[in-house]
Amino acid sequence: MGHLKQAKLAMFLIAALSGLLLGARELANAAPGERANQSDIAAQAQSSLDFETYRTRIEPIFLKTREGGVRCYDCHSALPTRLRLERLSDGSSSWTEQQSRRNFSVVSKLVTPADPLKSRLLLHPLSPEAGGDPTHAGGKFWKSQDDPEWRLIADWV
């Protein structure tokens, strides 16, 4: 691996770990009732979201190669983040249905049904200037809410 690519990967991992620490602190500071409410929201989200749309249109976004040669999958299958994706089987370029169902369960906890602007899945990679939150260690992939990927996920939510 070239020195530049190694340096980019190291910076990316440092940023990702920083984001993890912030998320862990936020969760630890949440009141017990707030954590229970988050579980209720996740159950509601999963029941109102369409799995087939997720599997065929949303999930492939996590495998798309981004600027710098990284994919959402690269960190979110290896690091203990809220969006923890299943590892792909050796030699596979997509998930099995069972793996997709587990991913769907995780992703469902990161959306607020019918309210994309309260959905962590949409806010983390969205530029703060477009309404996103300031923290996503992996970078800001969407510069506006008009980005086709952002719209696709927002419409699914």
Which tens digit of pLDDT belongs to each residue from 10-24? Answer: 444 444 444 444 444
Instruction: Give residue 10's pLDDT.
Output: 47
For residues 64 and 153, give the distance between their C-alpha atoms in angstroms, rounded to a whole number: 14
Question: What mean pLDDT comes out for the span 103-124?
Answer: 96
Question: What mean pLDDT comes out for the span 136-156?
Answer: 94
Instruction: Give residue 75's pLDDT.
Output: 94
Domain that holds residue 89: 3-156
86: left (phi over 0), alpha (psi -120 to 50) or beta: beta
Q: Into how many domains does the chain fold?
A: 1
Question: Closest Cα to residue 55, out of 4, 103, 22?
Answer: 103
For residues 16 and 25, give the distance between their C-alpha atoms in angstroms, rounded to a whole number: 14
- Which two structure tokens, joined as six digits, stand for 65? 């190669």
The 10s digit of each residue's pLDDT in 18-42 is 444 444 444 445 555 554 455 554 4
Read off the pLDDT band of 126 (50, 70, 90).
very high
Q: Is pLDDT of 122 > 60?
A: yes
The 10s digit of each residue's pLDDT in 84-104 is 999 999 999 999 999 999 999
131: left (phi over 0), alpha (psi -120 to 50) or beta: left
Question: What mean pLDDT comes out for the span 144-155?
Answer: 98
Residue type, 33: G
The 10s digit of each residue's pLDDT in 60-84 is 999 999 988 999 999 999 999 999 9
* Percent of the chain with pLDDT strictly greater than 70: 70
- Better-scored residue on pLDDT, 43 or 150: 150
What single DSSP character describes residue 126?
B
User: What predicted TM-score, i.e. pTM, was given to this entire model?
Assistant: 0.72
